[in-house]
Structure 1
Amino acid sequence: MTYQPFLPEAAAGNISPRHAVVPLRRELKKCRIVSGEVTRVEHARKTVSVQPIDGPAYELEYDHIIVAPGSVSRTLPIPGLSDMGIGLKTIGEAIYLRNHILDRLDVAAVTPDEEVRKASLNFVFVGGGFAGIEALAEMQDVVSDALKYYPELDPKEVHFILVEATNRILPEVGPEMGAYTARQLAARGVDLRLGTFLKSCADGRIELSDGDSFRAETLVWTAGVKPSPMLANTDLPLGPKGHVNCLPTLQVADTETGEVLEGAWSAGDCAQVPDLTNPGGWCSPSAQHAVRQARVLADNIVQVILGGAPKEYRHKHVGGVAGLGLNKGVAHVYGIKVKGYPAWIMHRTYHVSRIPSFNRKIRVLADWTLALFLKRETVALGQLHRPREEFTEVTPPVELPQEKKVGAGSR
């Protein structure tokens, strides 16, 4: 399980990437873990079709099902985005982002081509929510630290650009703290493009709706999320945006009649759950709701099995905390607004308390403690993404005998 709020810290090298991931087999000791992909859910038959990592697909029968595949990046049909964009939903993407940015510094330091140099030092982030702001702030700190070892580069040549379609950033912490964040980023040299959207990034040329156009080799896409596309392969009722339709009890229900589908449950980013503290609204796709919904859902399943009645999920949004790089942050919790170092401490305290398992809490705290005394690591491990390239280059090709080629092709 990936603890996604720690992905910016993992990308920045503040914590080891392994410590942002919780091994399921270690924590779920009384569960059967199936490594594979759910290709279909047929609740009418109460069966799940599973394609394991290797081998033939098969079906699993169930009495109750909790559908919680979460969300994926909400992308748009923008030219070049699929070729150039980097998401930040997985630990692999976090590692790749770090390696890619440090690699761009290496390229800029040695290239004689001025255009390549400029493009390598332009870092574009699309999306002004938690993920985008925290990733930009952390990676700006990484680049700032790394530049000490690049005498060939002038810090004034480095440009971080934030593109946000609305006129505000970090709406989760309120307009005042959002405005404070914008002022802090601008003071650090970040080019804020609010009320602007990305039109194209084909062939590395960034085209924005404000008419600006420039080359860049880094584009980080954090412009929201959408429910997992896996839900389209189920017979469960979905809402207008593709979420599983739920009652406040977290039971899946028909979108028109409201009739409960016995044995079907959902929660988290993929679920459309009424917000009882905000009539007419829905619970936001955030960890704040997901972790609380999980507890209510588990208790409700027990109650239903024992013949009792499930309880409704009710939680008033308490606000949010965000890190703005090392020793900097903003927070708006229970109406209290905090900024700077105290907010950064609140941000770290909250998330270390929420990451599952005592093991991971200790490891993350150890990473942070070591960082107080040791310099940040600014080493790129780019070969992680192409581990066999060097071996392949030095290994001579061998032509297979004709009969083996025929045999291989016939299987």
Structure 2
Amino acid sequence: MTKSIRRTLLASAFGAAVLNANAVPIYQSNEVTLYMEGYFTAHMVNTMGNTSMQNGASRIRFGLNVPAYDNWDTGFNLEWGVAAINSAQNIVIQGDQQAAPGDRNDSLFLRQGHAFAKHPKWGEFSAGKQWGVYYEVTYITDWYNVSGGLASGTYGLGTDGGVTGTGRADSAFAWRKAWEFEAGEFKIGIQTARHVAQLEIDVELTPDTRLVCPPRDCEYGLSHGIAAVYRADIGDGFFIGAAFNRVKLDISSSDGLLYDISGDEPVLITDQYAFNASSNDWTSALGMYYGEQAFAKGFYGAVVFQRSQNNELAPPGSVVGITNFFDAKGSESFMSYTWGRDNCYSVYGGHNYLVSDDPGFEAGLVRGDRYKLAQYYLGFQYRWNERVRLYWENAIDSSNEVAQPVADDFMAVGFRIDI
């Protein structure tokens, strides 16, 4: 594969209308192409002293490409996550697996749903639920079969990143454009969304009082995102990128409901409690990798660093205050080495590390002096053929007591079958 062809494939890997090598055409004509792609994956996981079969990040996607006037290509993409394995285990240990809070009990939930229009000169426009431009940088370490994606800021607030716009952004409008040069490719992405979700505030102000924000007074407001990446033809390939995302947190009301909870039943003290904790939820990321791509022949190594404000959420009950958002800094890495006939053997590993960087939040912790999530991974993958892979993945967890409710050691074996 020449460098120019490889660069083109990498540049389009997260575009709105990519025909994956494993995509299956359902219908083709001179006017439209309808295709399907996705995969099924599941694994046996031993964690927290229990062994169970758990859902992987199984999904199914349908896409429609419609050639339009003057080199414009239009269409849509619809993708659903599939929870096909019943399990008594409730822990969610994979960033890319996470659904929005209201979808976690659904067997079928929406991952993406957007329309697009793209042109060689004017770039690509997309509208709807889609990968945010922030992910143009952070995807480079999000290749683990079981875990990962916990420290880059992509899946903030314990969700799929839809509300914040950093992961699978909700109700977003985005523009992406790439320029190819002799020595590489430069790409930018710009994104905006507004009023994507209500924010339900129901917290203990003190051990004896509880504050409830009335409906429609607290919300995630206007958001913006931008990313810029450069892929250089150096050796097997070098990538560097930066991204920034900001969403307005409107947490204010003059009609707050304040309850006395010192007795057996809550008693309303006032329905005109005024408060203002409005702020910004922002996240920034810097990422670099060397190699062709994850699990490609030879070495691939990637690292992402991030800093964020109000983009992480502490476990329930771990802090006293109006909210349990906190400022954080973190890093992720992913490395793989692939060899053998048809590049079927891969060893891989890396880490996710996220710590609070917020004195106000840390002062309000019920126990402990900071939030620290730290996991270190080692895995092996065997690609049986183009569509079937088997894997073993192990995590050593050194998180502190504040983060323990969402992290632990685990050992998993599983499989994945691509459509």
Question: Into which bin does the TM-score normalised by the smaller protein fall?
Answer: under 0.3
Q: As a proportion of its length, which structure holds more helix?
A: 1
- The TM-score, its normalising length taken from structure 1, stands at 0.24
Q: TM-score, normalised by structure 2?
A: 0.24
Q: Which structure has the larger Rg over C-alpha atoms? A: 1
